[in-house]
Every structure is written in C-alpha cells, then in structure tokens.
Amino acid sequence: MAKIKKIFVCQKCGAQSGKWIGKCPSCLEWNTYLEEIENKEVTSLDKKNIWSEKKSKKNIKPSRITEINNTKTQKILTLDNEFNRVLGGGIVPGVLVLIGGQPGIGKSTLLLQVILNMKETVLYVSGEESEEQIKMRADRIGVMNDECFIITETNTSKILTVAKNMMPSLMVIDSIQTLASPHLDSMPGSVSQIRETAGELQRFAKEFNIPIFIIGHINKDGAIAGPKLLEHIVDTVLQFEGDRNYTYRIIRTLKNRFGSTDELGIYEMMADGLREVSNPSELLLSQTDESMSGSAIAATIEGMRPMLIETQALVTTAVYGQPQRTATGLDMRRVSMLLAVLEKRGGFPFAQNDVFLNIAGGLKISDPAMDLAFVAALVSSLEDISIPLEICFAGEVGLSGEVRAVSRIEQRIQEAERLGFKQIYISKYNLKGLDVSKFEIEVIPISKIEQLYKRLFEDI
Ligand code: TYD
Ligand code: MG
C-alpha cells in the first residue's frame, strides 16, 4: 500500500518541514523550500518495532574481526595512473564514488576514457546524452572497447534491473541530477530524488559488490548540487576542477574511506581526450628562456605532490582613483595581507598602484608557502628588476613580515634541485633537522622579508 506524503524540502541543505517556510532554520538560506511528494511504500516492517521481530528468517550473527575475509577487496587498477592515485590505489569493489565538477570541465570525458581503457565489462548510464553523442566522444578519445555497454535511461528501477541482469564489473552514472526513482513523484535533480536515487545506487553497489561512479554537477557556489547528505552516502568524493580557458585539469580527493584525501591528479585536456600529466612542474613553468620582472617561481606542494609553479605580478600606477587589486588562482585576502606587510615593513608604495597577481596555468593553489614567491614577484614588478630564472622560493609570510617554516621542506628542495634550480629561499626556521649539505642547490635561509628583497635586488 502506498502512502502519499507531502513535504517541503530545503533545496540547499535537505532540511524538511511540514509547511512552507521562507527562511530555512537549518542553513539560514531564503526561498529554498520546495514542495515534494513522497510516495513511500509502507512495509510491514515499518509498522512494527524491528528489534522485537521474533520470527526473523535470517539470524544475524556478529563476526569476529579476525575471521572476516577481505580477499574480496582486491582493487581494480585502471590504466590511468592519476585516476588510480586519487582513488587511493585503484577501484575498491562495491565502492560508491561521486565525481563533482562544473559543466564542461570534462567529467564525462574522464570517465568514458577510463572505462574505454578497461578490460572489465562496464555499464555506462547516461541521462544527459544520446548513444550517438557518447559514441562521438569515444571516437574523439580514439579507443574502442567491446566490453563497454551504454544505456540512456533515467529511471533507477529500469537501470538497476539492466545492471542486475548484466552484472558489470563497474557502473558509471552520468549524472545523479538526471535520475528519477519511480518511488518518488518529485522532479529529477530535487533533493529528495538525489537522496533516494543515491541511496538505491548505494544499496545496489554494496549488495552486488559493483563499484559505481556517480557524476554530480556543481552549482554556482562550487558545492555539489543537492544536499550535503550525498557526500555522506558515498565512500569517495572526487572534485574535478580547472579553468575552462586553460587546458589543465586537477582532480582532488575530498573524501575517501579507502585512501588518503591528500591525493591529486593532473590532466591536460587535448583534442583527443585527457592526457595524464605525471610531471606537473615542467609544464607549469612558463616556457621562456629570459627572466622577466614580476615573475617568481614557488616551490609548492599540492596534496602530496611537489610542484614548481610560476607566480606573476604586475604593479602599475593607478590611473583611476581607487587602485585595482586583481588575483587569479589565489585568495584576495591573502593578496591584501601581503601588500599591507610590504607597505608597512618595506615602505613600498602599493597603495598608489594597481596590482595584478596570477598563478600561471590557471590553477588554484592555496599553499601558504607561495607567499614568499608572491612577495618576490610584487617587489620585482614594482622595481622593474627581474629575478634570475634559477631561483625559487618556499616560505609563508606572517603579519610582521617574518618568514615562517612550511611543511615538507625537504621534498620542495629536492624537486627544485631536480628541475635544475640553483638557489632556493626558505625560512630560517625550516633549518631545524634539515641537512642542507646533501643538496647541490644552494639553500638560502631568511627570517624576514627585508632580507629577501635586500639580497635579491641588492641596491634597494
Ligand atoms: P565533458 O566531458 O562533456 O564535460 P562535463 O561532462 O564535465 O560537462 O567535456 C566537455 C569539454 O571537453 C568540451 O568543451 C569539449 C572538450 N573536449 C576536448 O577538448 N577534447 C576531447 O577529446 C573531448 C572528448 C572533449
Ligand atoms: Mg557530461
């Protein structure tokens, strides 16, 4: 028997209410409540207290942890090393993975490319594109696979029936926002539908031990559309990001029940699919032989990977009253802080100048160790003196202009040395326990930013 229940659900956080409310008491957003109809199947179990069920057919017996067999958790390795890396070393059977990203960033391309290169039988479910469109994309990627099956369907019960008959080794759902469960009357993409369909997929994945990859769109605020709840249901959350005007794409692990969340994979979007970038530094450094003012190289670590990245600054006289501050790839508040420190400690007249700061390659990096490179780039542009190409920087700048120690300094120095840099500026406080004599690169420890520009641009 079906019981029809009307509820109002906040489309932002998934909170429910019996009546419409203007402001959500849970996430404090306005106008987010929508009426949804829940068509819930009432089973006999719902009516009874399940703990007092005496005639349960299957007696549940607790297992000793030492007796649990985990041979089933053999991970499936894909051909894509970056993808294996973010998943924590391969695909765990029965895992539910959510891949979020803005439209057009390349989510469908990435998953299609991964499954086309697999030997196992794969079912790709698309609610967004026709079979022909998917075939066209596969043609672009240029790999064909006889074991890759496509269905274009949005009804979860039909999808799961197909999957049950087929028993693929892996399933891809493109995307969760197009799925609709026949048990609910609300629109595809609504909070209730997302929650219900994700729950059905989760039960299927766990029951049949089939890994399922779910593509999810990201809304304007950068969150995966639908409630946070989706992130709790899945085992792993990956985020695919990058600037659409650039070719680099980064895939980050935001949550992983089976591996580290420090991982990150880098790709380059080519005309024939995504290319793995196993050595990011070499690509991210700009391809000029000449040193130019306003450019400084930072030895950063993203996730677990050391990368040398070019930071660029342009400081020009402000033409209009209010000086402009523009930052691409880094936090504006960080820029204001660095400018204020430089103004106060070094007396540099940034208040009268327009300032543009940029990370080359369209990447967004939040490593505080980039501060020192930004400071060097800013002073270099203001004074119009270039920094020699063989110098790089790794240090955080504090409010009083002190250069603070950063994590994994040894890895940063090693990467700089590997790429042929001759000098690296680091914080004096990083020297503790660090044997600098083993490096060929000259390590220059400093404790204040004054020492940086005095040494770099000696006559200032
Ligand atoms: P797509 O995978 O459709 O993005 P999403 O599923 O995240 O919405 O990728 C879209 C973009 O990628 C599109 O602008 C075209 C581009 N692209 C390439 O540059 N090379 C390729 O080989 C493919 C398949 C797509
Ligand atoms: Mg897509």
Looking at the CA of residue 137, tell me the nearest atom of ligand 1.
Answer: 24
Question: Which one of 107, 109, 275 would you pick to mutate in the ligand 1 pocket, going by the greatest count of ligand atoms within 8 A of its CB?
Answer: 109
* Contact between 351 and 341 (Cβ < 8 Å): no
Distance 135 CA to ligand 2 centre (A): 13
Ligand 1: residue whose CA is nearest its atom 8: 104
Cβ-Cβ contacts under 8 Å for 290 (sequence gap 6 or more): 389
Nearest alpha carbon to residue 127 among 174, 74, 159? 174
Give the residues across from 3 on adjacent strands: 40
pTM of the model: 0.78
* Contact between 129 and 297 (Cβ < 8 Å): no
- From the CA of 107, the nearest ligand is 1
Q: What is the pLDDT along the chain (460 residues), one digit of tens a residue?
A: 556 678 888 877 778 888 898 998 888 888 888 887 766 554 444 444 444 445 555 678 888 888 877 766 688 899 999 999 999 889 999 999 999 988 889 999 999 999 999 999 999 999 999 999 999 999 999 999 999 999 999 999 999 999 999 999 999 999 899 999 998 888 888 888 888 999 999 999 999 999 999 999 876 665 655 556 788 889 999 988 887 777 888 898 989 998 888 788 889 999 999 999 887 776 666 666 778 899 999 999 987 788 898 999 999 998 877 889 999 888 899 999 999 999 999 899 998 899 999 888 777 888 999 999 999 999 999 999 999 989 999 999 999 999 999 999 999 999 999 888 999 999 999 999 888 899 999 999 999 999 998 898 875 5
**144: helix, strand or coil:** coil
Q: Tell which phi-psi region holds residue 447, choosing left (phi > 0), alpha (psi between -120 and 50) or beta.
A: alpha
Q: What is the DSSP string of 76-87?
A: BPPS-HHHHHHT
Distance 104 CA to ligand 2 centre (A): 7
Backbone angles phi, psi at 174, to 5 degrees: -125, 95
* Contact between 80 and 267 (Cβ < 8 Å): no
Joined together, the tokens standing for residue 110 give: 């990435």
Distance 271 CA to ligand 1 centre (A): 9
Looking at the CA of residue 140, tell me the nearest atom of ligand 1.
Answer: 22
Distance 199 CA to ligand 2 centre (A): 22
Contacts 24+ apart (CB under 8 A), 442-447: 443/413, 446/395, 446/403, 447/402, 447/403
Q: Would you tell me the crossing angle of helices 371-383 and 449-456 to the nearest 10 degrees? A: 50
Give CA torsion, residues 338, 339, 340, 344, to 10 deg.
100
Joined together, the tokens standing for residue 233 give: 């249901």
3-class DSSP string for 421-440: CCEEEEEHHHCCCCCHHHCC
**262: helix, strand or coil:** coil
Looking at the CA of residue 107, tell me the nearest atom of ligand 1.
Answer: 7
Of the CA atoms within 13 Å of residue 417, those in its CB half-sphere come to 14
- Give the H or E element holding residue 296: strand 295-302
The residues lining ligand 1, judged by C-beta closer than 6 Å to any ligand atom, are: 101, 103-109, 137, 140-141, 269, 271-273
- From the CA of 175, the nearest ligand is 2
Q: How do 305-317 and 353-359 pair as beta strands? A: antiparallel
